[in-house]
Amino acid sequence: MPRAIWSGSISFGLVTIPVKLTGATRSHDLAFHMLHAKDEGRIQYERICSVDGKKVPWDEIVKGYEFEKDEHVILTDADFERIDPKVTHTIDIQEFVELEKIDPIFFDQPYYLEPTKTGRHAYALLRETLEQSGRVAVARVVIRTKEYMAALKPAGAALVLDLMRWSNEIVDPSSLDLPEDEKMPSAELKMAKMLVDSMSVDEFEPEKFPNRYREELLAIIDARVTGKELPKMKKAAPSRGKVVNLMDVLERSLKETHRESKESKSRRRKTA
């Protein structure tokens, strides 16, 4: 069973629902250690002062904010404590909103909420209510020492707490050069739609998209460990260069045919 990383309660109005929080995703990235090639010794980091070149013990380290190039202001533990959020252990629901009204770009990190014994009924009630109303709860929550904005969503039998990005963390796309007032000829649009239709599926099945990089990397690791022969690398897809060249050839040929047929028509007209 996954370990809970936080426990507390959902609260709205006078209702409190005791819950535990567990991660809803896991990273599958393969981690590598840095080793010394010569003797495979693990590489260690040391904290070295750039002024005296000496190793610095933890108790001599402070946090500095660079407010101008090379100009730092030092903040003490007391400063941080002053603004530390109150560790409340509650998921404070602020409001409810239709899920579609939240741009998915805001969702950052999902966690499952699991009710403790006494909270099962209230948990199910909240989940059903959200499910049937099509809304999600927007809440504030403090995890460890940081405060987050989060959405509380029904997902099957579970409630998911999805930590959200703050509005100022979203980059405004207006800084990009995007085609906005482009005219779309309806024929082109129709054709593109046809293509989309022909490639459409009824259900999204993420299993159809395996993480090939990881699988291939694991195969190499496995071969190295067992001393087997390295797996054959898949050949890169044939280059499209040839296709493009062929298009040139075909286009030229089609143009010639076109000219010839025009010429023969005009000849015919002359002789007529």
Partner 1 sequence: MAAERIETRVGNRTLSLSNLDKVLWPRDGYTKRDLIAYYERVSGAMIPHLTDRPLTLERFPNGIDASSFFEKNVPKGMPDWVQRASLPSPGGTRSKITYVLCNEAPALVYLANLAAIVLHVWTSRVGSIDEPDFVLFDLDPGEQCTLKTLTIVTLAVRDALVGVGLSPLVKTTGGMGLHVVVPLTNGHSYEQAKIFAEIVARHVASQCGELVSLERMIAKRRAAAVYIDYVQVGHGKTLTAPFSVRARDRAPVSWPLDWSEVEAFKRSRTTVPADAFAKYTIRSVPKALEEQGDRWSGRSWKRAKLGTTIGRARKLWR
Query: Can residue 243 be called a binding residue for partner 1 (CB under 8 A)?
Result: yes
Residue selected from 74, 199, 233, 272 as contacting partner 1 according to rule CB under 8 A:
199
Checking phi first, is residue 140 left (phi over 0); if not, alpha (psi -120 to 50) or beta? Answer: beta
3-state secondary structure of 72: strand
Residue with tokens 């015919």: 268
Copy the structure tokens of residue 87.
Answer: 């560790």
Residue 239 has what DSSP assignment?
Answer: P
Does 191 bind partner 1 (CB under 8 A)? Our answer is yes
**Binding of partner 1 by 247 (CB under 8 A):** yes
Between 49 and 194, CB nearer to partner 1: 194
Q: What are the backbone dihedrals phi and psi of residue 234, each rounded to the nearest 5 degrees, phi first?
A: -65, 140
Applying CB under 8 A, among 27, 167, 186, 198 the residue interacting with partner 1 is 198
Task: Work out which of 223, 254, 259, 262 binds partner 1, going by CB under 8 A.
Answer: 254
Binding of residue 174 to partner 1 (CB under 8 A)? no
Nearest-approach distance from CB 272 to partner 1, in angstroms? 21
**Does position 86 bind partner 1 by CB under 8 A?**
no
CB 34 within 8 A of CB 43: yes
Q: Which is nearer to partner 1, 48 or 194 (CB)?
A: 194
Among 258, 262, 265, 267, binds partner 1 (CB under 8 A): 258
| 219-230 per-residue burial string, b: 16 or more CB within 10 A, e: under 16 | eeeeeeeeeeee
Cα torsion through 73, 79, 80, 82, rounded to 10: -150
**Site residues, partner 1 (CB under 8 A):** 191, 194-195, 198-199, 234-235, 237-240, 242-244, 246-247, 249-251, 253-255, 257-258, 261
